[in-house]
Amino acid sequence: MCRRCAAASRRCKPSWGRRRRSAAKREDRQLRIETARLAAQRQGLERALAERQAAVERVLLARQAFAAPDALRAALSGDDPADFGRRLHYVGYVSRAAAALIAGYRADLETSARLEREAQAKRERLRSVGEASRADRDKILREREARRRVLARAAGEIRRSRREINVLRADEGRLARLVEGLGRLLARVEAVPEKSSQAQAFSSLRGKLRLPVRGELAGRFGAPRGASGIEAKGVFIRAPEGEPVRAVARGQVVYADWMRGFGNLMIVDHGENYLSIYANSEALLKQVGDAVAAGEAVATTGSSGGNEETGLYFELRHLGRAFDPLRWVKLK
């Protein structure tokens, strides 16, 4: 898995969400059990309240019967003192029983109110837990969707990178085959480039060459080309469009045409199996067979190779193998 995919997977792991949901489910079950217990307790209390209320009503009726004027006169008019005492004691007992029942009834009412408050609090907590659980579930779903999108983008980038790598390899393969074919052709031609008493062997120019265009060195030999990771076989010099591209040494143009991945491409043969390659040009100023002098303009800078930046892609090769041009160039 690529680094971006691994990072996305780590960011979106749902373990924390699962633990949170598991805890919420446990609390939800406990709250439901406690709510059911409180409901059963309250129902039992309501039955006891109904029975106590009936008893209070019976006692109150009995006390009212003794408290009526006719009943009181009848109780006090008796001639038997013992009977009067019993009646008076019964009236006191009824009054005390009524007071006790009323006090118990009030206590039961307070207990019932307290249980109702506790049950209401449990219901509110249960509702809160449910809302939090739904919020966590929605958050996990959003994170899962975000993770899916990140992984999809990463997978798309991997596919694009693979296609880019395949394209670059194909482009480099075409250039390598072209250089190889030119090398075989040049080996059969003895007079390319034209020899003269003033001609200087290219191998003697190491450390004396000038870069073919003035600009900023933006890509070096061996550096990765974009996100593909393929090593560059030359250097890229960033420069404004239309700047003159000059031959690094005396030679003869052996290729001048457009090539996929390199745009307008020119190859100059310098003898001794040395070639210089100029790519990404806006325009080619020489044709195949033209002799060029060192420092002569052979093309203009551009972006014909598909680069986002304008400039020149430059290679040096010997026996078909690319080598670092900067080791042969006098930068200052």
Residue 180 lies in a domain: no
Stretch 97-106: mean pLDDT, rounded?
70
Shared domain check, 153 and 27? yes
Q: Is the pLDDT of residue 114 over 90?
A: no
Q: Is the pLDDT of residue 197 over 50?
A: no
d(CA 280, CA 310): 8
- pLDDT category at 89 given cuts 50, 70, 90 is low
Instruction: Characterize 81-106 residue by residue with b for buried, 16 or more Cβ atoms within 10 angstroms of its Cβ, and e for exposed.
Output: eeeeeebeeebeebeebbeebeeebe
Task: Burial-class residue 59 by CB neighbours within 10 Å (0-12, 13-18, 19+).
Answer: buried
**Angle of CA points 285, 322, 284, to nearest 5°:** 10
Distances from the Cα of 157 to the Cαs of 4, 153, 164, 223, 305, in angstroms? 10, 6, 10, 21, 22
Shared domain check, 155 and 20? yes
Residue 96 lies in a domain: yes
Q: Dump pLDDT digits (tens) for 218-243.
A: 888 888 776 556 788 899 999 999 99
Stretch 77-81: mean pLDDT, rounded?
56
What CATH number is associated with residue 132? 1.10.287
**Among positive and negative, which fits the CA dihedral 309, 312, 318, 323?**
negative
Residue 60 lies in a domain: yes
Residue 155 lies in a domain: yes
Residue 65 lies in a domain: yes
Stretch 23-41: mean pLDDT, rounded?
74
Residue 173 lies in a domain: no
Token output for 51:
């029975």
- pLDDT category at 208 given cuts 50, 70, 90 is very high
Q: Is the pLDDT of residue 193 over 70?
A: no
pLDDT score at 198: 43
- The winner for highest mean pLDDT among 42-46, 162-166, 305-309, 319-323 is 319-323
pTM over 0.75: no
Return the higher-pLDDT residue of 181 and 236: 236
Shared domain check, 154 and 61? yes
Shared domain check, 154 and 84? yes
Q: With helix as H, strand as E and coil as C, how does the chain read?
A: CCHHHHHHHHHCCCHHHHHHHHHHHHHHHHHHHHHHHHHHHHHHHHHHHHHHHHHHHHHHHHHHHHHCHHHHHHHHCCCCHHHHHHHHHHHHHHHHHHHHHHHHHHHHHHHHHHHHHHHHHHHHHHHHHHHHHHHHHHHHHHHHHHHHHHHHHHHHHHHHHHHHHHHHHHHHHHHHHHHHHHHHHHHHCCCCCCCCCCCCCHHHHCCCECCCCCCEEEECCCCECCCCCCECCCEEEECCCCCEEECCCCEEEEEEEEECCCEEEEEEECCCCEEEEEEEEEEECCCCCCEECCCCEEEEEECCCCCCCCEEEEEEEECCEEECHHHCECCC
Count CB atoms within 10 A of the CB of residue 195.
Answer: 10
Q: Is the pLDDT of residue 39 over 80?
A: no
- Structural domains counted in the chain: 2
Asked if 313 and 226 touch (Cβ cutoff 8 Å), the reply is no
What CATH number is associated with residue 301? 2.70.70.10
pLDDT score at 12: 46
Return the higher-pLDDT residue of 332 and 297: 297
Asked if 216 and 240 touch (Cβ cutoff 8 Å), the reply is no
In sequence order, the β-bridge partners of residue 314 are 235, 278
Q: Is the pLDDT of residue 49 over 60?
A: yes
Q: Is the pLDDT of residue 83 over 70?
A: no
- pLDDT category at 148 given cuts 50, 70, 90 is confident
Q: What is the mean pLDDT of the chain?
A: 76
Q: Is the pLDDT of residue 15 over 90?
A: no
Tell me the residue length of the chain.
332
Q: Is the pLDDT of residue 181 over 90?
A: no
Residue 227 lies in a domain: yes
- pLDDT category at 98 given cuts 50, 70, 90 is low
pLDDT score at 141: 80
Residue 174 lies in a domain: no
Q: Domain range for residue 198?
A: 189-327
Q: Dump pLDDT digits (tens) for 238-292.
A: 999 999 999 999 999 999 988 888 889 999 999 999 999 999 999 999 999 999 9
Chain centre distance of CA 324: 40
Asked if 91 and 71 touch (Cβ cutoff 8 Å), the reply is no
**Angle of CA points 58, 64, 68, to nearest 5°:** 155
